[in-house]
Amino acid sequence: GQQLNQSPQSMFIQEGEDVSMNCTSSSIFNTWLWYKQDPGEGPVLLIALYKAGELTSNGRLTAQFGITRKDSFLNISASIPSDVGIYFCAGPETSYDKVIFGPGTSLSVIP
């Protein structure tokens, strides 16, 4: 089945720094999703991407849908302590019945 890989696995950064994380796939996705999960909470959708090459922003977050449809990145500018959490890339399978999640990138922000 389709699988997603994320890098890095974890990041420790100083408050105010910019962050970049990647997601790659073994096969094509037609939609890319980025979720954030706070400890003990459910995933919350940050950004959805629907077209190859699309670049979308949501406040300090920017994500891009790779041209090959097999990758995506998420950037966070000027990080703040509340950015701490696990960031998952995800994409619906062809049937759109289920969403496949990557293993996540854990972000820690040092004040």
Partner 1 sequence: EPEVTQTPSHQVTQMGQEVILRCVPISNHLYFYWYRQILGQKVEFLVSFYNNEISEKSEIFDDQFSVERPDGSNFTLKIRSTKLEDSAMYFCASSADRGPQETQYFGPGTRLLVL
Residues near partner 1 (CB under 8 A) are 30-31, 33, 35, 40-45, 48, 50, 88, 90, 92, 95-104
The span from the CA of 14 to the CA of 3, in Å, is 31
DSSP for 21-47 reads EEEEESS--S-EEEEEE-TTS--EEEE
User: Toward partner 1, which CB reaches closer, 75 or 101?
Assistant: 101
The span from the CA of 48 to the CA of 90, in Å, is 9
What's the CA angle centered on 16, arms 33 and 42, to 5 degrees? 35
User: Toward partner 1, which CB reaches closer, 14 or 95?
Assistant: 95
Report the nearest approach of partner 1 to the CB of residue 92 (Å): 7
User: Toward partner 1, which CB reaches closer, 47 or 76?
Assistant: 47
Residue type, 55: L
Report the nearest approach of partner 1 to the CB of residue 14 (Å): 25
Report the nearest approach of partner 1 to the CB of residue 50 (Å): 6
